[in-house]
């Protein structure tokens, strides 16, 4: 009978898991589209349309725009509707995610005295750069009587920039493609490929070592330079051989700021040296991070190695937080990321939004039904708190939750869900305070002990999911009620207490509420 019960329970678990997985898959697809600014055109001028996609967790929010009659109006890939003559058209926005969802609106066009003439071709002119100097690109929009001859300039690479007036500024050596996209909705794009050469650049030892240890998939391993100091010196011949022989390894990780840390340094090195090898390597690292992100928005500690606990969504040591901060910077062109390929901006926005979604979904609910904070790591399928190392059990984390809360507070125009998540986390931090104690290091023997300290406030690293009480754990994996009960090696080799949320709840939260009118 007991065996039968176990089998029934296991089958039930598989069924629920399957249902949960199906639900997650549905939630990532578009369910509805609303077209914004779809009012009548009475002045004959172009109009920018946009969409609101639901649910917010949709993995791909891109749409394809079409019009019912291209002799009356045309629409660009970005939703710019350009009238050609007076009349009525139907505009359709269709989801690109394969869901089949679309939305139609009818728009009446008046106010056009003469028909609009669209561009039939856009031609860009320029010469290869051999001196690093700026040059004014030429532009020819045909026919000569095109109504709107303005274009939007862009490039495919950070090795050169182009201004709104077509002034090209070389940044480093390499090949760049320049685009001039007609603003009249015709869809015409002029393209020019130029070679940039003879820009002097230098090499930087630390950056060169990072290139050496970068794996073929774009990421970096945690070893042999866990603390990054090994990058500061010339590599031995043995180290060079080892690095080259392990290029194909899959030990790439975001643990201890790796991959994010290396590519950030390379971006800064590129700006100071103009060495395109550094930019190329950094962009390869960014590509790795996009690839490593789960469909639900989380990042694992390692990718593609999913052995042990490496597959879990990892907040521990701010691993995912470091990636989220990078995505934010890319989306805003901050902290040296302005040099990367412009295509990464939109990709970073999507990655950041997906990360916020999974953060909201992994916020832990107490047995009393109240949202609290987060575990250091969560299962990537169930999203439940998970075990990592033997002494890192499922818990509410007084440490890692601080970084996650700060990520939520970065969101511009936060939704009610984000606002509530931040408030709930801060409420939990306040409830989890431990009063009148501090930790004290000792010598002879080396140890860490807890002593009385009137007026002091600390937080524990781990809080029990059911009782809400602090707990401690040694390498035996068994919870203990006090720090003194675990082995000395773990007492002294891990941060069990800290004041991690102190500034967050005393200053940052107050400023955040004021900023958002709360």
Same domain, 368 and 356: no
Q: What is the mean pLDDT of residues 124-138?
A: 94
Q: For residue 398, what pLDDT is reported?
A: 97
The helix or strand, by DSSP H or E, that contains position 33, with its residue range, turns out to be strand 32-36
146 close to 115: Cβ distance less than 8 angstroms: no
| Whole-angstrom distance, CA of residue 271 vs CA of residue 15 | 53
Question: 99-109 burial string, b = 16+ CB within 10 Å, else e?
Answer: bebebebebeb
Tokens linked to 28: 């990532």
Query: How far is residue 328's CA from residue 411's CA, in Å, rounded to a whole number?
Result: 9
Name residue 32's beta-bridge partners.
54
Q: Which run of H or of E encompasses 445?
A: none
Query: Do residues 461 and 494 lie in contact, with contact meaning Cβ atoms separated by under 8 Å?
Result: yes
Statement: residue 14 has pLDDT above 80: no
Q: Decide if 199 contacts 176 (C-beta within 8 A).
A: no
Residue 127 and residue 239 in one domain: no
Rounded to whole angstroms, the Cα distance separating 510 from 290 reads: 33
Average pLDDT (299-325) is 97
Please say if the pLDDT value at position 456 is more than 70. yes
Residue 306 and residue 417 in one domain: no
> Are 389 and 500 within one domain?
yes
Please determine, for residue 237, whether its predicted confidence score (pLDDT) is greater than 60.
yes
- pLDDT at residue 151 tops 80: yes
Instruction: Tell me whether residue 492 is in a domain.
Output: yes
How far apart (Å, rounded) are the C-alpha atoms in residues 305 and 328? 26
170 phi, psi to nearest 5 deg? -65, 145
CB atoms within 10 A of CB 309: 18
CA atoms within 13 A on the CB side of 18: 6
Assess whether pLDDT exceeds 80 at residue 19.
no
Give yes or no: residues 409 and 314 share one domain: no
Please check whether residue 309 is in contact with residue 301, taking contact to mean a CB–CB distance below 8 angstroms. Answer: yes
Residue ending a domain, among 52, 85, 109, is 109
**pLDDT(13) > 70:** no
Report the pLDDT value the prediction gives residue 1, as an integer from 0 to 100. Answer: 45
Q: What sign does the dihedral 390-395-396-401 (CA atoms) show?
A: positive
* DSSP class of 443: T
- pLDDT beyond 70 at 416: yes
H/E stretch holding 153 = strand 151-155
Give the number of other CB atoms < 10 A from CB of residue 412. 8
Segments forming the whole domain that contains residue 160: 121-196
With 70 as the cut, is the pLDDT of residue 64 above it?
Answer: yes
Task: Tell me the mean pLDDT in the region 56-76.
Answer: 89
Tell me the pLDDT band of 204, cut-offs 50, 70 and 90: very high
Looking at the structure, tell me whether residues 208 and 238 fall in a common domain: yes
Q: Would the pLDDT of 93 be above 80?
A: yes
* Claim to verify: residue 429 and residue 500 sit in the same structural domain: yes
Q: What is the pLDDT of residue 4?
A: 46
Say whether pLDDT at 22 is over 50.
no
Tens of pLDDT along 152-172? 999 987 788 899 999 999 988
DSSP output for 65-80: EEES-TTTEEE-TT-E
How many domains does the structure of the chain reveal? Answer: 4
What CATH number does residue 501 fall under? 1.50.10.20
Q: In this predicted model, which residue has the larger pLDDT, 452 or 12?
A: 452
Angle, helix 400-410 to helix 343-362, in steps of 10 degrees: 130
Mean pLDDT computed over 278-301: 97
- Assess contact for 186 and 120: CB atoms under 8 A: yes
Is pLDDT of 8 > 60?
no
Q: Which of 78, 109, 140 is the last residue of a domain?
A: 109
CA distances from 61 to 54, 106, 354, 364, 473 (A): 9, 22, 11, 28, 44
Residue tagged 């691993």 (tokens): 319
- When pLDDT is cut at 50, 70 and 90, the band that residue 206 belongs to is very high
Q: Which of 154, 197, 190, 191 has the alpha carbon at shortest distance from 175?
A: 197
Could you report the per-residue pLDDT of 372-415, keeping only the tens digit for each? 999 999 999 999 999 999 999 999 999 999 999 999 999 999 99
pLDDT given for residue 70 in this prediction: 87
What average pLDDT does this structure show over 76-95?
A: 92
Confidence of residue 199 (pLDDT cuts 50, 70, 90): confident
Cis peptide before 224 (omega within 30 of 0): yes
The verdict on residue 15 lying in a domain is no
Q: Same structural domain for residues 271 and 394? A: no
Task: CATH number of the domain at 175, please.
Answer: 2.60.40.1080
CA distance 162 to 138: 12
155: preceding bond cis by omega (within 30 degrees): no
Q: Which two tokens stand for residue 248?
A: 């194909």
Residue 509 shares a structural domain with residue 490:
yes
Q: What is the mean pLDDT of residues 421-446?
A: 97
Q: Output the pLDDT for position 309.
A: 96
Report the pLDDT value the prediction gives residue 240, as an integer from 0 to 100. 97
> Of the given ranges (28-32, 323-327, 494-498), which has the lowest mean pLDDT?
28-32
Whole-Å CA distances, 356 to 296, 321, 335, 340, 349: 10, 11, 21, 23, 11
Same domain, 216 and 322: yes
DSSP structure class, residue 230: G
- Average of per-residue pLDDT across 428-444: 97
Alpha-carbon dihedral angle through residues 395, 371, 311, 210, given to the nearest 10 degrees:
-90
Residue 438 has pLDDT above 90, yes or no: yes
Does residue 130 lie in a domain region?
yes
Find, among 508, 380, 470, 308, the residue nearest to 24 by Cα. Answer: 380
In a domain, 16, yes or no: no
- Which tokens sit at 291? 């690839």
* pLDDT on residue 27: 61
Residue 115 belongs to a domain:
no
Q: Is residue 398 part of a domain?
A: yes
Mean pLDDT (whole number) for 61-68: 93
Residue 6 lies in a domain: no
pTM above 0.75, yes or no: no
Instruction: Pull the structure tokens for residue 379.
Output: 């299962």
In a domain, 8, yes or no: no
Q: What is the chain's mean pLDDT, rounded?
A: 92
pLDDT at residue 115 greater than cutoff 70: yes
pLDDT at 25 (0 to 100): 39
Name the residue among 277, 259, 254, 123 with its Cα closest to residue 189.
123
CA 298 distance to own-chain centroid: 9
pLDDT at 15: 42
Structure-token pair, residue 31:
């369910």
Q: Does 210 share its domain with 356? A: yes
Outline where DSSP puts E strands in 401-486: 434-442, 447-460, 462-463, 472-473, 479-480
Q: Are residues 372 and 516 in the same domain?
A: yes
Distances (CA, A) of 230 to 197, 239, 255, 265, 385: 33, 10, 17, 14, 34
Query: How confident is the model over 41-61, as a mean pLDDT?
Result: 88
Label residue 305 left, alpha or beta by phi (over 0 means left) and psi (-120 to 50 means alpha): beta
pLDDT at 44: 81
Q: Among residues 144, 173, 196, which one ends one of the domains? A: 196
Q: What is the pLDDT of residue 186?
A: 87
């Amino acid at each position: 009978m007991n065996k039968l019960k176990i089998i029934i329970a296991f089958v039930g678990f598989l069924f629920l898991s399957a249902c949960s997985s199906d639900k997650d898959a549905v939630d990532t697809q578009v369910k509805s589209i609303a077209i914004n600014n779809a009012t009548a055109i009475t002045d004959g001028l172009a109009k920018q349309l946009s969409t609101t996609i639901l649910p917010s967790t949709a993995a791909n929010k891109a749409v394809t725009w079409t019009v019912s009659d291209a002799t009356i109006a045309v629409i660009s890939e970005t939703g710019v509707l350009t009238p050609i003559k007076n009349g009525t058209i139907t505009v359709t926005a269709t989801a690109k995610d394969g869901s089949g969802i679309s939305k139609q609106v009818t728009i009446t066009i008046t106010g056009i005295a003469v028909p609009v003439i669209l561009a039939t071709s856009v031609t860009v002119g320029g010469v290869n750069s051999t001196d690093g100097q700026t040059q004014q690109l030429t532009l020819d929009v045909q026919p000569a009587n095109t109504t709107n001859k303005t274009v939007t300039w862009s490039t495919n690479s950070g090795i050169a920039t182009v201004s709104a007036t077509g002034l090209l500024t070389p940044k480093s050596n390499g090949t760049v493609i320049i685009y001039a996209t007609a603003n009249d909705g015709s869809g015409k794009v002029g393209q020019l490929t130029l070679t940039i050469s003879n820009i002097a650049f230098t090499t930087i030892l630390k950056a060169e070592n990072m290139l050496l240890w970068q794996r073929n998939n774009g990421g970096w391993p945690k070893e042999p330079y866990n603390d990054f100091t090994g990058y500061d010196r010339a590599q031995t011949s043995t180290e060079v051989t080892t690095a080259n022989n392990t290029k194909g390894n899959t030990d790439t990780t975001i643990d201890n700021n790796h991959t994010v840390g290396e590519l950030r340094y390379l971006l800064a090195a590129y700006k100071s040296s103009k060495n395109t090898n550094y930019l190329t390597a950094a962009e390869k690292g960014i590509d790795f991070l996009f690839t490593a992100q789960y469909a639900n928005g989380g990042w694992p500690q390692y990718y593609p190695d999913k052995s042990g606990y490496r597959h879990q969504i990892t907040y521990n040591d701010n691993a995912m937080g470091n990636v989220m901060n990078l995505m934010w910077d890319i989306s805003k062109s901050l902290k040296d990321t302005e040099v990367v390929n412009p295509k990464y901006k939109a990709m970073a926005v999507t990655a950041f939004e997906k990360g916020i979604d999974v953060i909201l979904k992994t916020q832990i609910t107490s047995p009393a039904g109240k949202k609290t904070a987060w575990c250091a790591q969560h299962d990537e399928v169930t999203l439940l708190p998970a075990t990592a190392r033997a002494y890192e059990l499922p818990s509410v984390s007084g440490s890692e939750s601080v970084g996650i809360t700060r990520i939520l507070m970065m969101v511009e125009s936060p939704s009610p869900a984000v606002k509530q998540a931040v408030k709930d986390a801060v409420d939990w931090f306040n409830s989890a305070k431990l009063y009148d104690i501090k930790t004290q290091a000792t010598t002879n023997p080396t140890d860490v002990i807890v002593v009385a300290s009137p007026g002091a406030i600390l937080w524990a690293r781990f809080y029990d999911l059911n009782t809400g009480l602090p707990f401690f754990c040694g390498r035996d994996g068994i919870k203990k009620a006090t720090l003194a009960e675990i082995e000395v090696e773990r007492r002294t080799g891990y941060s069990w207490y800290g004041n991690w949320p102190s500034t967050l709840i005393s200053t940052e939260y107050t400023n955040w509420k004021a900023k958002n009118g709360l």
